[in-house]
Amino acid sequence: MSSATSLGARLGDVCVLGLGKTGFAVASYLAGLMPQRVSSLTLYGGASSGEGEPARSLAERGVRVVLGSEDVRGRFDLAVASPGIPERSAFFSAARACSTEVIGEPEFAWRESPDRWVAITGTNGKTTTTSLVTAMLRSAGTDAVSVGNIGRLCTDELVRRRDGAWFVAELSSFQLATSRLLHPRCAALLNVTPDHLEWHGSLEGYAAAKERIFQNLSGDDLAVVSQEDGYCRDAIGRLEARGVRTLHVGVREEPVSGEAAFVRDGWLTVRLDGGERRVAPMANLPLRGEHNAQNMLAASSMALFLGASVEAVRRALEGFHPIEHRIEPVGEFAGVRFVNDSKATNTDSVEKALTAFDRGRIVVLLGGHDKGTDLGSLARAVNERCKAAVCFGAAGERIARAVREAGGPTQVIRAPHLREAFLAAVGAARPGDVVLLSPACSSFDEFHDMGERGRLFKGLVADLSANGGVR
């Protein structure tokens, strides 16, 4: 019997924080449990929430909906917070003051259905690795579904979950920060580099939230951890001190650990259960770049641990298509390739993306909402690998200045917005080059989200081809 809340147990008086996608999904699920398992259900929409169809539909189902307020009052057995609400916020603190515990949505979903979970986190590579594990399990004939930060809420999938199906969960630091009992069978930490520091308060707080993915693992489970950054190496030490079975992932250097995943002689190789398995030659695989080698190694290790055969893993790798907005090829015109990497919202992600293309043949588009992160490493990488950098948006001037000050051959071009930046990039590119949208910034200065930014880029490429050039 799991230590988590067993399916069918009473939840009592429950509060949900936030009326976005997550809050609405959780409240809808909980409304279906009234009155048998939920005595009362209250949703606080937050300061910016207002009347609309979501609020009305919940109210019609007996949910007490409080709009335009973060002043949580009452007494609750459980509160479920949406991931956009920081633990240090007044909203979260108000809920904590009058609730027995406050948890996040994946934690809640796990408590409702705790068997057969895989969990994946990291600053970069989460979505690709999650999708790969799901594809590998399906290739092996096992039912699996990608859930979590990848776009399909865990709670939404609960009612559709079939017996024996695996939940392969991409989990963000926001989601992990409020986890307590979450216990996947296998979990991965891909990397930790500066991101979301305004939410967590510090890099150490961000890293600690990521590491919570392992908090309940035991010697029967598997932790898959990169050995290629300091925070991950520290996590490996703590895991092994606890006796957790830990597989080291190394792309640049073969790990010396008993269980490991690495590249040897161009082959993805996994050392597991006392033997080595040559999984696939990288030259035959559609995913490119050092970062994707790490993603493929981590995913292969997890799938093999869960019972997939080498043949099933290889089939999934060979047939895998790039994730939308993550180093996604979107067209070619006049000998120039166009690649959409709008999902690259931090500097580390861009640096890794640049390794996927020939040095000196990249015209990179950088810019967007300025997170205020250090740009030194990014500027050096751009000067080492790119022929031109087109810097746009709110962060454009600061990025352009950093690239210039780093010194090097890279041409620096300024543009106000993405549309103008695209035109400038087309003008700078020559046959054999790649125009890469890999912004290193979030999109909120100009777009609703990174998906809208990526779709505009793809639309501009389509227009270029349809019109026979820039008009």
Check whether 100 is labelled as a binding-site residue: no
Pairwise CA distance, residues 45 & 106, whole Å: 19
Check whether 127 is labelled as a binding-site residue: yes
Angle at 83 between CA 80 and CA 85, to 5 degrees: 85
Pair of tokens at residue 376: 């030194």
Pairwise CA distance, residues 450 & 443, whole Å: 5
Check whether 343 is labelled as a binding-site residue: no
Pairwise CA distance, residues 371 & 402, whole Å: 15
Check whether 126 is labelled as a binding-site residue: yes
Around 367, how many Cα atoms within 13 Å sit in the side-chain half-sphere? 29
Check whether 289 is labelled as a binding-site residue: no
Among 329, 299, 291, smallest CA distance to 316 is for 299
Tell me the C-alpha to C-alpha distance, in Å, between residue 156 and each of 70, 128, 245, 275, 406.
Answer: 25, 21, 32, 39, 47
Among 86, 93, 38, smallest CA distance to 61 is for 38
Which amino acid, residue 119?
A: A
- Which is it for strands 328-333 and 336-340: parallel, antiparallel or unpaired? antiparallel
CB atoms < 10 A from the CB of 43, how many? 28
- Please enumerate, by residue number, every residue annotated as part of a binding site: 122-128
- Please enumerate, by residue number, every residue annotated as part of a binding site for ATP: 122-128
